[in-house]
Chains A and B, each alone.
Chain A
Amino acid sequence: MTFRTTRRGLLKSGIAAGATAASAGAALANTPDPLITELQDWASGTGDGVDATPYGLPIEYESDVIRRNVEWLTADTISSINFTPIHALDGTITPQGCAFERHHSGAIELRKDDYRLMINGLVDQPLVFSYADLERFPRENHVYFCECAANTGMEWAGAQLNGAQFTHGMIHNMEYSGVPLRTLLEEAGLDTAGDLAGKWVYVEGADASSNGRSIPMEKALDDCLVAFKANGEALRKEHGYPVRLVVPGWEGNMWVKWLRRIEVMDGPVESREETSKYTDTLADGTSRKWTWVMDAKSVITSPSPQSPITHGTGPVVISGLAWSGHGKITRVDVSRDGGMTWETARLGKQGDSKALTRFYLDTEWNGEDWLLQSRAIDETGYVQPTKAQLREVRGENSIYHNNCIQTWHLKANGEAENVEVS
């Protein structure tokens, strides 16, 4: 074993790792493992009965797999964001209970009975739907990622936050059940709108922020979903219960929660969230607007700063997530030397369009330093850029849409650190 620890934190986990090492090296063990040879309580007594937890939560040993926020980012948690613990998850579906939250005026409590959805503006018949009405339309199921435009936004000027949760955790991926927005627009009738090519749909929420956004009609009629279930159950309060808008592949701010009104319009409203915020300032001081699509991006979730290697040298699974707002992920490459050489990773399963794709590189680690990177390629042939490439075009003040290649420095002791490389 070349595995060594130097830091206090790792020493602590090293205790656990020591036990693992003993059992992992079973061929060398000359004392029997008491977990096997001695009768354990759980093998003799009984466990909880059914209904011990009518709605189950993760077992206590997983209590560190939680959303976390970065307090200095915002003035108050009511208008703030927290981060999905992506470093501790596998597969692609994000459980609702640890999927990141972003509120502009807090998560409100809105009963289904009190829910109303209005469609007005340039429609043949302005309509009001109850929640029950929505469940009577033909509905669809789709898995989509929802990524905040500001994900990785704190990393523009340099490596700043030490953990995949904090650098890339403004994302979640769920299976939504809902009614296509086009079905509802069609129900209200679009003849009045005339030529739909230049028309817009303005959507807003029932909370105090309203968080209104303008969406071009083409997108509204394409794949937007008025969703009321996620991962099979009702949306959580913090994700817009009872109804939110799903805008596949586009920035999370447009996925209006507590959706209450849809207005067909001649032009964009140019609301606060699409002018003063969610616009990307370039080096020369001009700003891009309407940068809706989330470009292809990936990150290695393990090993990563919050998910170090504790099992010593030998076989290791490098694992991560990739996604693109332009469609399917077709390939992910991994580099262990900071981008000098690349090898193609294995996809957990073939990528779904505008959804998270899990990738793995099953390899060996001999305790050497690695500069780990991943690079996503989507079905349009777009290759995830380096931070240098992004800065060359945009400078460092864009805040939003930072989809750069991330680097983790894996050290001999198994720890990983967020670094920037030349």
Chain B
Amino acid sequence: MSKFLNILGPAVGGAAGVLGLAYVAADQFVADIPSVAPRMVTFATAATEAEETDTTAAEATPATPQTETVAANTSGFGLGRPALAEEIAAWDLDVSPDGTGLPEGRGDVFTGEEVFAENCAICHGDFAEGVDNWPVLAGGFDTLADKDPVKTVGSYWPYLSTVWDYVNRSMPFGAAQTLEPDDVYAIVAYILYSNDLVDDDFELSHENFAEFEMPNAGGFVVDDRPETEYVNWRSEPCMTDCKQSVEITMRATVLDVTPDEEGSGEASSMSHDSGTQMAAATPAATEVPAAEEPTAEEPAEDAPAVQVAAAAAIDRELVKSGEKVFKKCKACHQIGEGAQNKTGPQLNDVFGRTIGGIDGFKYSKGFKAAADEGRVWDEAAMYEFLSKPKSFIKGTKMSFSGLKKDSDLEAITAFLKANGG
């Protein structure tokens, strides 16, 4: 509180400031004393709401009247509860450039190549070269001043900690926070190798991490707009005769890359008559079709009558929870009307389909072999695959580690079936 007032004292005002001061005036609290007791009332309340909160501390301390709680709290309101060490450990995962925050562990390039192939290559390519529009992770050195810079981990990222931190917390896409620390070390080692920054016998660990300096570490300057721009652009602007002449030097319609609101193939974006309004919504509706409610009453229009009858028997609730489970799949798979192959194949009518049987989709060797054998997706196969993808199809590029709960497997099966499966 005192630090805060020193810095921003004059800025403190309004209700918050006044209330805060009132509490400070009543303050009998010494900062060194753990503030569990004064926060007791709130803590007990919070603990009953939380399913996974350890309530031992709450039970150990008798509740105190709320008025006392507030008066005794130096910080102001006595709201919230102390964070437990386990909770902080679970969420405080960030890693700083000096390596602070790294867990112990190690991983080498060879291991990294395998882990990368399993978890990352489907989007980033076997050699970190990037598939489709997904990020390229390797190469691009000496391109930053070019017309089209190639910004990769090697050519652009200034700190190795950022790579470790991001892979650890946010990758793989659709299955974040499923990698073990050693896997993360191995993946990062492999990314360095794919950038020719280390040799193939390199091992990255918490011990040698801080020694590594990225090539573009010195390539950044702190925002210098005040000196390079503001000083020049804070002046009275010209109002008349500001230029001798004006010419059009470029037109957007020549490029013709604007999304077409009419769906007519014409670049026009006039949508003022009501006839175009409904069409306008169509190309812009980019949500994965699966997000729409698949109900048993609304099977695909072209579904045979037999399937309609079958679909009607599916438990709607189960389909609904299956739709939720499908969120784990949405990063790579589309389902429903207009579903297309993305990172993974589209999943309409998957049951009865030959395994690995979508024309034009680039399957892994394992899936191609299954297709050659003429294997077909049925419930048993789907259960087995979705519970342990990598043991069902050896070498599958699907990075998903599998559904652990039977209830999830049952639900996703119902959901897939509801979509013509």
Q: Residues on A close to B: CB < 8 A?
A: 7-10, 12-13, 15-16, 60-61, 63-64, 66-72, 74-80, 82, 104-106, 113, 116, 118-121, 124-130, 132-133, 136-138, 140, 158-163, 166, 180, 182-183, 185-191, 193-197, 202, 204, 208-210, 212, 218, 221-222, 260-261, 263, 265, 267, 269-272, 275-276, 279, 281, 283-293, 295, 305-306, 308, 310, 333, 337-343, 371, 375, 377, 380-383, 385, 389, 393, 396-397, 409, 415, 417-422
Contacts and interface: CB of A to CB of B under 8 A. Distances in A.
A261 B123 CA distance: 29
Nearest to B267: A162
Nearest to B256: A162
B157 interface: yes
A124 B75 contact: yes
Closest 8 CB pairs of A and B: A9-B268, A338-B246, A285-B145, A75-B133, A285-B144, A9-B270, A208-B176, A418-B252
B316 to A, nearest CB: 19
B151 interface: yes
A271 B162 contact: yes
B80 A128 contact: yes
A161 to B, nearest CB: 5
Contacts of B50: 116, 130
Contact of A221 (B4, B177, B330): B4
A80 B249 CA distance: 31
Contacts of A292: 223
B94 A271 contact: yes
Contact of A126 (B83, B223, B238, B287): B83
A339 B230 contact: no
Given A10-B270, A160-B257, A186-B76, A269 B144 contact: no
A88 B148 CA distance: 34
B94 A204 contact: yes
B173 A421 contact: no
B294 to A, nearest CB: 17
B219 interface: yes
A283 B257 contact: no
B257 A208 contact: no
Q: How large is the interface on B (under 10, 10 to 19, 20 to 34, 35 or more residues)?
A: 35 or more
A78 B331 contact: yes
B83 A128 contact: yes
Contacts of A161: 252, 257-258
A67 B284 CA distance: 8
B286 interface: yes
Contact of A163 (B7, B169, B258, B327): B258
Scoring A82, A129, A270, A420 by chain B CB atoms within 10 A of each residue's CB, the highest score goes to A270
B165 A286 contact: no
B92 A120 contact: yes
B276 A75 contact: no
A420 B248 contact: yes
Given A9-B262, A333-B237, A418-B253, 16 more contacts: A69-B259, A76-B133, A78-B288, A119-B80, A127-B82, A130-B49, A161-B252, A188-B80, A196-B7, A270-B97, A272-B165, A276-B153, A338-B246, A418-B252, A419-B248, A419-B252
Interface in B212-233: 219-225, 228-230, 233
Contact of A61 (B134, B245, B274): B274
B281 interface: yes
A14 to B, nearest CB: 9
27 contacts: A12-B275, A64-B280, A113-B49, A118-B87, A127-B83, A130-B46, A132-B45, A133-B80, A140-B14, A186-B4, A187-B80, A190-B1, A191-B2, A193-B3, A263-B92, A267-B97, A269-B94, A287-B219, A371-B246, A375-B237, A383-B237, A397-B147, A397-B149, A417-B251, A419-B249, A419-B252, A420-B249
B253 A270 contact: no
B144 A261 contact: no
B96 A270 contact: yes
A417 B254 CA distance: 10
Contact of A275 (B31, B92, B159, B284): B159
- Which one of A127, A221, A415 has the highest number of Cβ atoms from chain B below 10 Å of its Cβ? A127
Nearest to A13: B272
Contacts of A67: 284
A385 B229 contact: yes
Nearest to B94: A269
Interface stretch (B15-23, B104-112, B351-359, B378-386): B15-23
B270 A13 contact: yes
A162 B143 CA distance: 30
Contacts of B225: 288, 291, 293, 295
- The interface centre, meaning the residue of A121, A129, A389 with most chain B CB atoms within 10 A of its CB, is A129
B91 A260 contact: yes
B88 A120 contact: yes
A139 B229 CA distance: 37
A64 B49 contact: no
B161 interface: yes
B173 A275 contact: no
B287 A77 contact: yes
Contacts of B60: none
A119 B239 CA distance: 51
Nearest to A221: B8
Nearest to B285: A66
B406 interface: no
A343 B177 CA distance: 56
Contact of B228 (A76, A126, A393): A393
B407 interface: no
Nearest to A193: B3
B91 A118 contact: yes
A287 B221 contact: yes
B243 to A, nearest CB: 5
B11 to A, nearest CB: 7
Nearest to A69: B286
Given A63-B277, A289-B223, A191 B31 contact: yes
A148 B270 CA distance: 26
